[in-house]
Structure 1
Amino acid sequence: MTLNVEEKKSLSSYRLDRADRLLEDASLLLKEKRWESSVNRSYYAALSAAKAALILFGIDPKSHEGVKTMVNKKLVLDGLMPREYGKWFRSLLLEREDADYADYVTIDSTDAEEAFKNASNFIEKIKNIINMLIQQL
């Protein structure tokens, strides 16, 4: 996909807004003690935020693994975010897979709250990165 600067900014903004909505859903699900669903929404919020940043580089991965790889390559290894944020993203992906697909895996309040906290921190960092990247476009 070849996008001009304004299209990249628009798509990034759309994805970041989506991340905020998904994170709000995760919070509501936490309050309702819907742990698995909250973990799912926390992950997808972080995924949408990651894709919001990556599109500003002209990168639009089509798979979860592709996003994970590019977060590490473009954001962590290039020094835009500390390694712990990349680890949080990987952890959110694995936790979401367990919550959605694993049999006999218990997701409890601690798991869901940690996923929400990590997603919130990840998204805040992404917002800072996006603001910096937009200044450079």
Structure 2
Amino acid sequence: MIKYRLDFAKKYLDDAIELFNNKKFNSSASRAYYASYQAMWAALGDPKEGKIWRHLAIIKHFVRGYWFAPNHPASGPGLLEDKRLPLRRLYSYRIKSDYDAIDIDQHNLEQLLNVVEQLMNIIDKKGGG
């Protein structure tokens, strides 16, 4: 696991929660997504050949679960499949917020903030790459 990335992820999540509490939902969505991105990177480790993780690819690799269960089959559902859709939704919220200038729904964002907190707990518990 890359500890400094997980530390950044936790800071970004704190920022996202503070922004949410101040009703800055679009900014909160963006910070929450990057909290999840850094957390997944921390768990997976650096990508091969010094590249960076692509946004949808990191979600795909993360939910497979090989970073904590290397013997899990390469095909079929991932071990964290229940996180795939919420993480993709959070990514789409980040796009809507940062590029499309569309207001983010408070209720749905609150649920996604909880998913990011769950992610941090899973990574803390299981370690990673």
* The two structures share one fold, judged by TM-score above 0.5: yes
Q: Which runs of 4+ in 1 moved over 4 A?
A: 74-77
Aligned residues of 1:40 and 1:96 also touching (Cα < 8 A): yes
Aligned residues of 2:13 and 2:31 also touching (Cα < 8 A): yes
Give TM-score, length-normalised by structure 2.
0.77
2:107, 2:64 → 1: CA distance?
A: 30
- The one of 51, 62, 78 equivalent to 1:71 is 62
1:99, 1:13 → 2: CA distance?
A: 28
Q: Which runs of 5+ in 1 are unaligned?
A: 1-8
Shift of 1:113: 1.1
State the aligned residue count.
Answer: 119
2:36, 2:25 → 1: CA distance?
A: 17
Q: Which runs of 5+ in 2 are unaligned?
A: none
1:128 is the counterpart of 2:119:
no
Give TM-score, length-normalised by structure 1.
0.73
Shift of 1:109: 1.7
Residue type matched to 1:41 in 2?
R
2:7, 2:24 → 1: CA distance?
A: 23
Aligned residues of 2:9 and 2:36 also touching (Cα < 8 A): yes
